[in-house]
Each structure stands twice: as C-alpha cells, then as structure tokens.
Structure 1
Amino acid sequence: MAAFLMTVYVLWLRELKRFLREKTRILTMLGQPLLYLLVMGQGLRATFRIDIEGFDYLSFIYPGVIGMSVLFTAMFSSVSIIWDREFGFLKEVLVAPVPRSAIAVGKALGGSTTAVLQGTILLILAPVAGLHIHAAQIALLLPLMFLLAFAITSFGTLVAARTETMEGFHMIMNFLIMPLFMLSGAFFPVSSAPAWMQPLMKMDPVAYGVDAFRNVLYTGAGTAAKNFAVAFPLGLDVAVLLGFAALMVALGMLAFTRTE
C-alpha cells in the first residue's frame, strides 16, 4: 500500500508540474470555453429568449461551458501517457518495483487536478454570465468538478492505455469528445431535446456533471429556472458520476496491470 500511494503521489505531482510549466497549454484550453461563453453565448442570448425573469441563455449555458472546460482538459491530459510511452518514461515505470495499477490512479488524479484548476478560472468569470456565486456554492462546485474530471480522465487513461500511437489517440478522442459534449445538455435542456435524443443524453456521464453544476448554481434562482434547466436530482448526478468514475478507474488499473 505504501508503494502504491507513493507511486500515485509522484505521478500526480509530475502531471501538476508539467501543467503549470506549460503556460501556452493553459491559454489554449481556456480559449475555446471563453469563445463559447463570450462570443456564442452573447450572440445567441438575443436570439434564444427564455421567458424567465432574471434568467437568460447566457446564464443557462454557463454551467455547460464549465463542463466543457473540465471535459476537454481532463480528456486531453491523458495524451501524456502516449508521450511517456514514446519517450520511454512509461516503460521505466512499468518495470519499476511498484504496483502498475497505481499508474492509472496517479494519471487520473493529475489530470483531474489540472482540469479543476482551469474550471476554477472560469468560476471567476461568473459575473460575465450574470451569475453571482457565493462561497458555499464554490465549496460544492469544486468537488463536483473534481468528480467529473476524475471520471473523464479515468476514461481517457483507459483509452490511452490501449492506444499505441499519438495519431490513433487523437482520432479516438475527436470521435468521443464532441458527442459527449453535444449530448451533455450544455446548449439545450434535456427536456427540450427530441424524443430519440433524450435516452442518449441520459447515457452521457458529462450530462450529469453539467446538471450537477446547474443544481448548485441555480440554488435560489427560482422554481421556474430550476424546472427549465435542471434535469435530475443532485443525488442522482453524484451517484452516476461516482459509479462511472469507479468503473473507469478500475478498468484503467486492470489495463495497466496487463500491459506488457
């Protein structure tokens, strides 16, 4: 157990230091969410009018933009596994006298931490969306962001463990990320989606993360706003994310255990 925890800590710290040293990566990852929030959100708020006092389209998509930032950062943080394989670092870890399963946990924790850091920056921009977040809401949002990030990073780690090349990883990620995001309810509520699409949205783990953010952010916003934007109880959101995260990290640990 001591070797397992030490390996997890070292890999987590390595991912965090790598992230903090890559300033361009931080700016790039923030660019797309800010584009959606400031350009698309501002542009569509006049077109898509929501007949709820004090609640507009920009306020609606803001939790979805946070979810997008967490999703993209968490998923692409798994690319470090491919780099580590190509440059030999992963081989050194695999042959070291430490539990291989710790690699999946350490990578997932490292990617989750970086995703939460970027999501936290977006929380500072809440006034741009007309939302005023209180300290109690931030205290709830941070663990929810970490839970979503851990689930998605564990999923990305599982994919990376089974992918040999950088090109193959990016092709798979591009195939997976957009459906996960588009079906998350970030741009439109689950209740307004076509009947054939709603089951797909309910199978999307990111949808439960975005819905959890809305459950917290719309506290005190009024019954009409919550009924329009929130699809599931907060307890269900957390339960689904916990279950998905546990499944993905378990499969990731198994994948690294069997890696030759």
Structure 2
Amino acid sequence: MTELRPPLPPAAASPGEEAGSPRLAPVAVHVAGGTLREDLRAVRVVWRRELIRFARNRLRIVTSLVQPVLFLFILGTGLSTLVARGIPGATTTSFRTFMFPGVVAMTVLFTAIFSAVSIVWDREFGFLREMLVAPVRRGALVAGKCLGGATVATVQAVIMLALAGLVGVPYDPLLLLTLVGEMLLAALAITALGTLLASRMAQVESFQVVMQFVVLPLFFLSGALFPLRALPAWLAALTKIDPLAYVVDPMRRAVFAHVHTSPAVRRLFGAAMTWDGWRVPVGVELGLTALLAALFLGAAVAAFARSD
C-alpha cells in the first residue's frame, strides 16, 4: 500500500498535538466593510429589495394611482368649468392641463415619503437591527433605501404620464424626458426627508401621524392646485419656503412650453415662482432641490449613525 505523505513536513508537536500530524497553513481573514466596492454592493442590495417589494405588491401600484386620478379628472373637471368662464381663450381642458404637473408631483410626494414607512416596519419586526449590524457603512444602507424609494416613486409617476394626452399635454419625447428627470430629483429629496423622519420612530402609527403634518402642507402650498400669481402676501410667503413648489414650477413651465394656449391662459396658469418680483430660473429651482436632497440625505445618514 502506498504511504500517504502530509502536505507539509511534520514539525515538533505542540502540547496536546500528536507527533507527525500535518501543519495547516494560516488562512487570511478578510473583514467585510470599509471598502467602496462593498458599500456599493450594499446600496445595490437595498435598492433591489425596494424594487422587489414594489413589484410584488400590485395592489399598492393600483391604489396609489386612484388618488391622483380623482384629483385630475374629478376635481379638475369640476373646477375647470368655473375657471374657464373668467379667462379668455380658456377651455375645460386648460385647468386640467395646469393641474397635471401638480398631480404628477403629488404622486411622487406620496409614494416617495410613504416608502420610508418600511423603515418603521423593519424596526418594529427586528429586521432593521439585522441590517444595521451588517459589516457595511450605515450610510450605504441609507443611500440604498433612498435610491430605492426614489426609483419606486419615479416609476409610479411615469405611469401617470401615460394619461398626459387626456388632459391636453403632448407626448413630446423631450418633454417626457424633462419631466422624468425632475421627478427623479424630487423623489430623491422627498424619500431622504421621509427616511430622516422615520429614523427616530418606533411605531407605524406615529409615522403616519407625523406624515400628515408634513405631506399635506407640502402638497397644498406647492401650487399644485392653484396658480402662484396674485396670491395674498402670507400665502405667497409660505409657498416660497415649500420645497415641493420648486419642483412643481419647473414641471409646469416645461408643460406650458409645449402647449398652445391663449396669452391670458399662459399668463395665469404659466406664472412662475418669483422672489420679490424676480422670476426664479429653472436651474436655480432644481439646484435648490438637489441641495435639499443632499442635506436630507446627510441628516438621515447621521441619524442612522447614532441609532442603536
């Protein structure tokens, strides 16, 4: 019989070790976390988890579209008959065209900020603790969560774009790409805000109550349902500090740049955000939105860094 030889020559046996036993070569131990590659992998995993949860919940996709459709076709149609009487050249479609960017922004707002409720669910059922003890930076987990929520909100709003032709908005490729880019930026800022608010909440009921104090003022003060022109001073001041107003206004400008209407309708419905009479450029509005998104994201990362 052939004698088997150990892979390494035998050495002096240590106490408790048989003489002639093979010596095992040491194996390098790699501790996960701390590298950019692993953080990006964590971002991708959390982002993909959000998409999978969204795709599997078809009832959520359908019910999330009910409220925007009601606002656009029920409320919009009812108010358009009143508005069209006092504006030369206005039609019943004009007010729905005006409301369309606001309703799309509302879709982004509600979907993005309520996507953060899953953080509270994960904390309540213990899954969040497992994520926080993972050998990756917590900032990567927050970034993946915000990117996932922003992607879901953008996809939900893109579905609303299919209704554009019913309210007099053309299916212009440049217009649609512009709206999608602005929706994605808004969704990222709002998801980061929702993540920041959810970082210190332990119960879903508490999150829902706080969201009512945040979501409704953001929506109603954004100019989604009324023009920003000739407002009372107190209301005009509130609209200027509403972050969502700097998303609705660029979207509305893009829509009215591709819609043929009378000058009176364009002056009223196409009125832009102004600061003391100065018309705020679109680049400044989008820059402010990007800055707020970065601030909210940084604050959310800092909040999770202090979480237990």
Q: TM-score with structure 1 length normalisation?
A: 0.96
Q: Does 1:23 align with 2:58?
A: yes
Q: Distance in 2 between matches of 1:111 and 1:225?
A: 36
Deviation string for 1:194-217 (max 9, x for gaps)?
111111101111111111111211
Amino acid at match of 1:46: T
- Superposed displacement of residue 56, structure 1: 1.6
Q: Does 1:123 align with 2:161?
A: yes
On the 8 A contact 1:8/1:102 being kept in 2, the answer is yes
On the 8 A contact 1:100/1:253 being kept in 2, the answer is yes
Change (3 A) 1:25 1:141: same
Partner of 1:255: 303
Q: Distance in 1 between matches of 2:267 and 2:285?
A: 16
Q: Distance in 2 between matches of 1:78 and 1:218?
A: 33
Partner of 2:192: 154
Partner of 2:12: none
Paired residue for 2:130, among 92, 95, 98? Answer: 92
SS of 1:190's equivalent in the other structure is coil
Q: Distance in 2 between matches of 1:236 and 1:191?
A: 19
The within-5 A match list for 1:61-210 is 61-210=99-248
- Superposed displacement of residue 57, structure 1: 1.0
- Superposed displacement of residue 220, structure 1: 3.8
Q: Distance in 1 between matches of 2:97 and 2:165?
A: 10
Amino acid at match of 1:116: T
Amino acid at match of 1:248: F
Q: Does 1:243 align with 2:281?
A: no
SS of 1:205's equivalent in the other structure is coil
Q: Could you say which structure has the greater relative contact order, defined with CA pairs below 8 angstroms and 6 or more residues apart?
A: 1
On the 8 A contact 1:215/1:226 being kept in 2, the answer is no
Amino acid at match of 1:45: S
Q: Distance in 2 between matches of 1:57 and 1:106?
A: 38
- Superposed displacement of residue 70, structure 1: 0.4
- Superposed displacement of residue 53, structure 1: 5.1
Q: Distance in 2 between matches of 1:51 and 1:177?
A: 35
On the 8 A contact 1:144/1:213 being kept in 2, the answer is yes
Deviation string for 1:216-250 (max 9, x for gaps)?
11114366555432324211221111111010001
Paired residue for 2:74, among 28, 39, 49? Answer: 39
Aligned length: 260
Q: Distance in 2 between matches of 1:52 and 1:246?
A: 43
For the pair shown, the structure with the greater C-alpha radius of gyration is 2
Deviation string for 1:33-64 (max 9, x for gaps)?
00001101111110112434577211111110
- Superposed displacement of residue 192, structure 1: 2.9
- Superposed displacement of residue 88, structure 1: 1.5
Amino acid at match of 2:232: P
Amino acid at match of 2:130: E
The runs of 5 or more residues in structure 1 that have no matched partner are: none
Partner of 1:51: 88
